[in-house]
A and B are shown apart, each in its own frame.
Chain A
Amino acid sequence: MKKNVAVYLVLLVITALQFVIGYGNIEGSQLAVRFLTFAVIETILVVLFFMNLGSEKRVFVKFVVYFMLFVLATMNYIWTDSFRLLVYRVTKIGPS
């Protein structure tokens, strides 16, 4: 139980840090990268200790981890089109 309480406290501290950073002066991609880093650390802690994945068979751990990495990779499929919309935004339609 002590281990779980320790993980809970670490999660609280990380979340508090996220709130502090959110109120800071960091903007844009730097902010997103920091938040994502904290979220990934939180995920590892929760999955390993609260969901006890660490105590499962190695082959199952691999199965879950590879799946998660695949999902994370495919999520990044959006960025090219998202930046295209941002940079080449159509502001006026029709003949001028």
Chain B
Amino acid sequence: MSEAHLTMGAHTAPPMEERPFAIPSKKLAMWLFIMSDVMTFAACVAAYSFLRNATPDWPRPFHGVTNVAVMTLIMLTSSLTMLIALQAAKADDKAGAFRWMMFTAAGGFFFTLLHIRDWMGMMNQGVGLFHNPWGPAAFGAAYYSITGFSLLHISVGTIALIVVAIRYQGGRYNADDIELFSLFWQFISLVWLFIVPLVYLMNLAR
């Protein structure tokens, strides 16, 4: 085979494989990330449930859950504002999409503040990672790890959202990228809807 023959394309690469599941690769990657995160949260929830069930004198320290109710309202509303941002981005309304993403980020920011306030309240009651005033030492570790993991996702997600919004406005990202972030935001919002009944509502003081 001559050199010319090679360069003319006789030795071509095999055709690209079809996209798996017929969705864009970036979107598939985000779904796979979410599914791996589901496993991590599932492990946290399973560990918490194990301890909660196996400990007869598990503490019920939550007298009021107004703070948690407000946090839940903020999280659900931010899910909706994220969807509005996505719709605006798909309609090529750049200013609108940016504005709604900033509303969503504000929701994430206030959620983080209220979460820290919730933690401060628990710390003031003497709840640490390995001790608390009520007995079972595992309570603090279980509480802080499961809520902390959620807080980590939401606070880091808020920063990432601001970065995505700025890059979108600057023209580096498009509506598809907003959709990817929207998937992540809906997921962390959903996780919070599992944490509220499991950690707070099942442990209300009687």
Contacts and interface: CB of A to CB of B under 8 A. Distances in A.
Contacts, number: 107
A46 B87 CA distance: 16
B53 A18 contact: no
Contact of B190 (A18, A31, A46, A77): A46
A96 interface: no
Interface stretch (B7-15, B43-51, B102-110, B157-165): B43-51
A71 B42 contact: yes
Contacts of A8: 76-77, 79-80
Interface of B: 21-23, 31, 35, 38-39, 42, 45-47, 49-50, 53-56, 65, 69, 72-73, 76-77, 79-80, 83-84, 87, 182-183, 186-187, 189-190, 193-194, 196-198, 200-202, 204
B196 A15 contact: yes
11 contacts: A18-B197, A21-B201, A22-B200, A31-B202, A50-B79, A59-B21, A60-B22, A78-B47, A82-B50, A82-B53, A86-B53
A12 B73 contact: yes
Tell me the interface secondary structure of chain A in the complex.
Answer: helix
A46 B186 contact: yes
